[in-house]
């Protein structure tokens, strides 16, 4: 007898929170009429002590887990990590994820209408920083009635937000998990961002950010994405995944001898570029990459990292991946050492992985167990939330 099993679809719903006050920014400007797109999963408990804030990476959004409808073909971006019974168990925890300011997935960003002009901001949107993103998130968290987060976790640019949380609002989090990140963006990464934006600028449709929805700088944005994508993978994973295989051909040396895609890796990049432009906005790409360029925990302490993390109160878990050359392990170790010099509670782990930077989304099992146990450990400790 055949038994049909039907997995229950975990439904989540996007919500908007309109900030009640304008948001002051690091650049000196003030952002009015800010909307934050966010999603939550699970239920906030009575003393609001089970809230876990997830921060997303460059191309992420508020849709971290579950599906929007029973028919929704694609779950949230970290659905293998977060959900009922998963590593971050929404049966136990109240998970919050919001789209960053400057983004293009619901939160106020360059596509939004500037209330002063009635037109989209485009590149008149103020340059935002990771600290600004976190300042906006803090208001959302307070709006949700949470005084202290059980944990803040995220990878890559999400990890920068995590670290900024620990430094900016030390009393508002009990623990933090910073994955595949660093306390400052490296000059190599700044350089890659610069070239990515130059590729977008070279696209005639870009028009200094004043493009229309029917004529977007897809070619430039695709090039930017493809470039970034290379940096997310390791030389090893590219070798293992594609090698020098030709697309749609069995034999070596059956080259096309032209400039169209010939190698499988070229075809893959082309596909990644195409997919990205369907869901991402070029101006947002400018703002979000710039926020990472400017990210430097030590900027306010004249380059002194030990001093920069002196005020941290929460317990930290810092995770790096052995083949991640965008955020090499050495950077996580440097951060860990600075925390230890301040006698902060911190655990560091390098996960051996060949996946490069993308490992933070791919090494789900190893990372997931670590995250689960770390949060669970801190959930068992008393939280004062008043």
CB 206 within 8 A of CB 217: yes
Q: Which of 156, 234, 237, 353 is catalytic?
A: 156
Sign of the alpha-carbon dihedral angle for 169, 170, 174, 175: positive
Tokens of 310: 């002196």
Residue (of 198, 147, 191, 196) closest to 173 by Cα position:
147
Does 195 bind a copy of itself (CB under 8 A)? Our answer is: yes
Instruction: Choose between 241 and 369: whose C-beta lies nearer to a copy of itself.
Output: 241
Active site residue 324: yes
Of the residues 121, 286, 355, 360, which one makes contact with a copy of itself according to CB under 8 A? 286
Q: Which of 203, 296, 324, 358 is catalytic?
A: 324
Of the residues 22, 32, 255, 274, which one makes contact with a copy of itself according to CB under 8 A? 255
CB 309 within 8 A of CB 344: yes
Of the residues 147, 249, 263, 376, which one makes contact with a copy of itself according to CB under 8 A? 263
User: Reduced to 3 states, what is the DSSP secondary structure of residue 82?
Assistant: strand
Active site residue 79: no
CB 373 within 8 A of CB 347: no
Nearest approach, Cβ of residue 133 and a copy of itself (Å): 15
Nearest approach, Cβ of residue 227 and a copy of itself (Å): 5
Does 243 bind a copy of itself (CB under 8 A)? Our answer is: yes
Residue 1 has a CB neighbour count (10 Å cut-off) of 2
Active site residue 378: no
Q: Which of 112, 357, 358, 378 is catalytic?
A: 357
Residue 242 to residue 32: CA distance in whole angstroms: 48
Of the residues 77, 78, 185, 348, which one makes contact with a copy of itself according to CB under 8 A? 185
Q: Please report, for residues 176, 184, 277, 343, 360, the alpha-carbon distance to residue 93 in angstroms, rounded to integers and kept in the order given.
A: 15, 30, 34, 29, 21
Residue (of 46, 137, 41, 139) closest to 386 by Cα position:
46
Q: At what angle do helices 130-143 and 157-168 cross, to 10 degrees?
A: 70
Residues that bind a copy of itself (CB under 8 A): 26-28, 123, 126-127, 184-188, 190-192, 194-195, 197-199, 201-204, 217, 219-220, 222-223, 226-227, 230, 233, 235, 238-239, 241-244, 252-253, 255, 257-259, 261-263, 265-266, 269, 273, 286, 290, 293-294, 296, 298-300, 302-303, 325, 328
Active site residues per annotation: 156, 324, 357
């Amino acid at each position: 007898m055949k038994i049909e099993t039907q997995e229950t679809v975990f439904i989540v719903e996007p919500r908007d929170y309109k900030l009640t006050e304008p948001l002051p920014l690091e650049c000196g400007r003030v952002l009015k009429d800010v909307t934050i797109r966010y999603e939550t999963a699970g239920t906030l408990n009575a003393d609001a002590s089970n809230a876990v804030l997830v921060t997303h990476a460059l191309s992420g959004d508020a849709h971290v887990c579950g599906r929007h409808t029973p028919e929704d073909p694609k779950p949230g971006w970290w659905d293998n990590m977060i959900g009922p019974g998963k590593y971050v168990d929404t049966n136990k925890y109240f998970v919050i994820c919001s789209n960053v300011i400057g983004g293009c997935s619901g939160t106020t960003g360059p596509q939004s209408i500037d209330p002063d002009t009635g037109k989209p901001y485009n590149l008149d949107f103020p340059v935002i920083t990771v600290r600004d993103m976190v300042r906006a998130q803090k208001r959302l968290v307070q709006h949700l009635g949470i005084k202290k987060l059980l944990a803040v976790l995220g990878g890559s640019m999400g990890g920068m937000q995590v670290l900024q949380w620990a430094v900016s609002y030390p009393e508002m989090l009990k623990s933090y998990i910073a994955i595949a990140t660093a306390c400052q963006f490296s000059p190599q990464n700044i350089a890659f961002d610069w070239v990515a934006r130059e590729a977008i600028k070279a696209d005639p449709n870009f028009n200094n950010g004043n493009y229309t929805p029917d004529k977007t700088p897809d070619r430039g944005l695709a090039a930017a994405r493809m470039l970034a994508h290379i940096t997310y993978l390791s030389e090893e994973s590219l070798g293992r995944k594609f090698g020098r295989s030709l697309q749609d051909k069995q034999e070596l040396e059956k080259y096309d001898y032209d400039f169209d895609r010939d190698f499988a890796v070229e075809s893959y990049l082309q596909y990644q570029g195409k997919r990205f432009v369907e869901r991402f906005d070029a101006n947002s790409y400018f703002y979000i990459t710039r926020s990472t360029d400017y990210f430097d925990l030590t900027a306010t302490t004249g380059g002194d990292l030990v001093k920069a993390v002196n005020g941290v109160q929460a317990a930290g878990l810092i995770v790096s991946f052995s083949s991640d050359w965008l955020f090499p392990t050495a950077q996580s170790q440097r951060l860990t050492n600075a925390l230890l010099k301040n006698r902060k509670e911190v655990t560091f782990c390098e996960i051996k992985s060949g996946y490069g930077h993308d490992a933070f989304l791919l090494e789900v099992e190893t990372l997931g167990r670590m995250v689960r146990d770390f949060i669970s450990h801190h959930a068992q400790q008393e939280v004062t939330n008043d």
